[in-house]
Chains A and B, each alone.
Chain A
Amino acid sequence: MNTINVRVSRFDPAVDSTPRYQTYEVPFEARMTVMDVLDYIYENLDHTIAYHSHTSCHRRVCTRCNVTINSKPGLSCHTEVTGDMTIDPLPRLKVVRDLVVEGL
């Protein structure tokens, strides 16, 4: 099976002094989105990962799933995955945990 390596910024301000990366190996499927990758990690590899999804619209409207994908901002629900990637929270916003930020 084709897999990709996904590096995700992990940070809990209550216990960590700086963010660190954690890498997950995720099965690759044609045209999958960044949200699909995060869902896969949460459901199968690591239940502790935090990214906003419980009120996401999946239509480019709410913008609450906005993250930094390979150094560029992008909506995780509509950004298709092409290969290995690094996912960070949006810059300059207070991180709640991992990829969830305040003020978005």
Chain B
Amino acid sequence: MSDTDSIDVLVIGSGGAGLRAAIESSDHGASTTLISNGATGKSGATMIAGADVTLDGAGAAKIGLPGNEEDSKEKFIHDIIVQGYYLNNQRLVEVYVRDAPPRTKELIDWGVKYVWDGKRALLTQGVELNRVLVEQTRKRNITIIDDVYMTDLLTQGNTVVGAAGVDVNHGEIRSFGAKSVVIATGGWQRSYTFTSAPGGLTGAMHVAALRAGADLVNMEMVTFCPNVILWPPALRGDIFPYILIERFGDLLEKHGRPFLRDEYDPSIYRIATTTEWNKLIFSVAGTRVVLRGDGSPRGGTYYSIKTVPLNILEEAEKLYPGWKWLRTDFSSLMDWLEDGNAVEVAPAAHYMEGGILVDEHTATTLKGLYAAGECSGGLFGANRVASAITQILVQGAIAGGSAAEFSKTSKTKEPDKKQLDNIRSRLLSPFTKTGGVRAPDLKKRVRKIADDHLWVLRNGNGLKSAIAELESILLKEIPKLSIQTAARTYNKEWIDAIEIEQTAQVLLASARSALFRTESRGVHNRSDYPLTNNNTWLREIITKNVKGRFTLTTRPVIVTKLKPPKGKFSFEEGIIRAVKELGE
């Protein structure tokens, strides 16, 4: 397949971060191509987001929203860092808070439908956000390429000169020369069996970036959304009970006891049911219940509304008319719950705080390579509470601008033919094999490693066995993957084979970081190191590619605003301390 010439900026990923990057790049006068592993506007995590845009109250007031002028950028920065257990790169936090108001203002100018929550959030929906951003993208001279699953970056020395991947519908390998590349591909939630994320979030470009020589950061940090529906299948992965529990209902263990209320300090229960600390607290408490054998048959806990009086439910239904939320009808589920039943729920892989290492300009450690949104790491430290939608808008715009400016100073370089040949032979290798391992089977096994050992509660032995198993799979089984399907057009086995290699690599990076961090912090909780240790672990863990070997190193957290406290504390103490600091 022939290469595409004269791309200034190649944006990979068409969720919110990619769309916003493409818009900014085009507005900087760069010839821009937006490429997606699905269809633009119909893939990525943005489309199914809740979704809110967060900004400080005073900043909101300045752009014409009825924001609280006693709030401030300083307070918002403080809160994000406390919520992140002081692991945040504070320069990234400053930029996030600085640019949130202009990014919000422009969304409003572009006609996004929203409701202001009165505090720090503009409430909208992912579908609506996508509609507006796709409309703005299509108004500009941006080349859109759909259904190309990008797998590799092309480099010359430490400079990125393009990218390559598979056109899944036509079954062809395609490469694109570009003066700069923006990665905006979201997290790697699809490396887990149970996730609230859509397909396509496999971490492919994290691995491509690492392979090409960029660094990753804090790969052990994975947020789980608790109370995600396990059954029935049509609703599996939906987070509606998580949305509801902020208002009413309880999580029960198998004897019908509300474990959080019964077993935890009243202040923890109050925080979990009234603030967005619910993700972390319910995930940890629910997982403890399952691990001690008090979970549901499908390995979760139960969400129940049995104690909620009917008139209170009727009042709540006004918020979700007909019990519809986003595009899904939950009325039969709600009827069933109102009859006194409980739905099985569990934590699901939801958001990745770790990712490709970037600075405040979204620049990675490779020249010409930028990363924006969830695929980048460091902004939210060890725990995200503020909006990931603001992250995609702020970082997307910066990445588009940075990449466009970089492209003006750089010349198009021909991709190295040998590098392309290697990529091609690696991608096509499963077609040349017979017998060996079958892709759908291996995919399940790789995901199960993540489910078993990289879940809400980790421990050293589990992580060691995950690393050994993943290394063995990468070394011995993936090279033997074979494909029975002769046709290359939409070949599921081929897509799976590519995904498996990426997910095994990204999980290996995550498991190694998780083993290396011998403490618990935020969403990373180890039963063998249960304390948060501010005396030694106020450090980010960086995964580097040193001559083909992935090695770990650390650096002290970047502090520009808020000095972290010293000391060690337990999970419960940590939350109570944080909530005091936040005044919640």
Contact = CB atoms under 8 A, between A and B. Distances in A.
Interface residues of B, number: 43
A1 interface: no
A47 B199 contact: no
Given A48-B485, A50-B490, A64-B39, 11 more contacts: A12-B487, A50-B492, A54-B38, A54-B168, A54-B200, A55-B43, A60-B328, A64-B38, A64-B43, A77-B234, A98-B490
Interface of B: 37-39, 42-43, 47-48, 126-127, 149, 168-170, 198-200, 231-234, 236-238, 326-328, 438-441, 444, 483-487, 489-493, 495, 499
Contacts of A48: 484-487, 493
14 contacts: A12-B489, A31-B231, A47-B439, A47-B493, A48-B484, A50-B489, A54-B492, A55-B43, A58-B236, A58-B238, A59-B198, A61-B126, A62-B43, A97-B487
Interface in A67-102: 77-80, 96-98, 100, 102
B200 A55 contact: yes
B239 to A, nearest CB: 10
Interface string A42-56: 110001111111111
A98 B42 CA distance: 21
Given A12-B487, A31-B233, A54 B499 contact: yes
Given A61-B327, A96-B169, A50 B491 contact: yes
Contact of B484 (A12, A47, A51, A100): A47
Contacts of B438: 47
A63 B168 CA distance: 18
Nearest to B235: A78
Contacts of A63: 42
B346 to A, nearest CB: 16
Contacts of A49: 492
A62 B47 contact: yes
A59 B327 contact: yes
B562 to A, nearest CB: 37
Contacts of A58: 198-199, 236-238
A102 B169 contact: yes
Interface in A26-54: 31-33, 35-36, 42-43, 47-54
A55 B198 contact: yes
Nearest to B200: A55
Contact of B48 (A51, A52, A61, A96): A61
Contacts of B444: 43
A50 to B, nearest CB: 4
B80 to A, nearest CB: 28
Contacts of A97: 487, 489-490
B48 A57 contact: yes
Nearest to A29: B233
B199 A54 contact: yes
B328 A59 contact: yes
Interface of A: 12, 14-15, 31-33, 35-36, 42-43, 47-64, 77-80, 96-98, 100, 102, 104
A32 B236 CA distance: 11
Contact of B495 (A12, A33, A54): A54
Nearest to B493: A47
Contacts of A100: 169, 489-490
Contacts of B38: 54-55, 62, 64
Nearest to A65: B199
Contacts of A98: 490
Nearest to A35: B233
A89 B332 CA distance: 29
Contacts of A64: 38-39, 42-43
B490 A96 contact: yes
Nearest to A49: B492
A84 to B, nearest CB: 19
Contacts of A57: 42-43, 47-48, 198-199
A54 B48 contact: no
B179 to A, nearest CB: 27
B202 to A, nearest CB: 9
A80 B329 CA distance: 14
Contact of B487 (A14, A60, A102): A14
Contacts of A52: 490
B209 to A, nearest CB: 20
Contacts of A50: 487, 489-492
A91 B284 CA distance: 47
Contacts of B37: 54-55
A40 B569 CA distance: 47
B199 A60 contact: no
B565 to A, nearest CB: 41
A28 B200 CA distance: 28
B550 to A, nearest CB: 26
A98 to B, nearest CB: 8
A47 to B, nearest CB: 5
A98 B169 CA distance: 12
A54 B327 contact: no
A31 B439 contact: no
Contacts of B326: 59-61
A73 B408 CA distance: 48
Contacts of A43: 440-441, 444
Nearest to B496: A54
A35 B127 CA distance: 22
Nearest to B201: A55
Nearest to A98: B490
A9 to B, nearest CB: 14
B159 to A, nearest CB: 30
Nearest to B487: A12
A51 B169 CA distance: 11
B556 to A, nearest CB: 39
B551 to A, nearest CB: 31
Contacts of B493: 47-48
A59 B43 CA distance: 12
Given A42-B492, A96-B489, A80 B234 contact: yes
Nearest to A58: B237
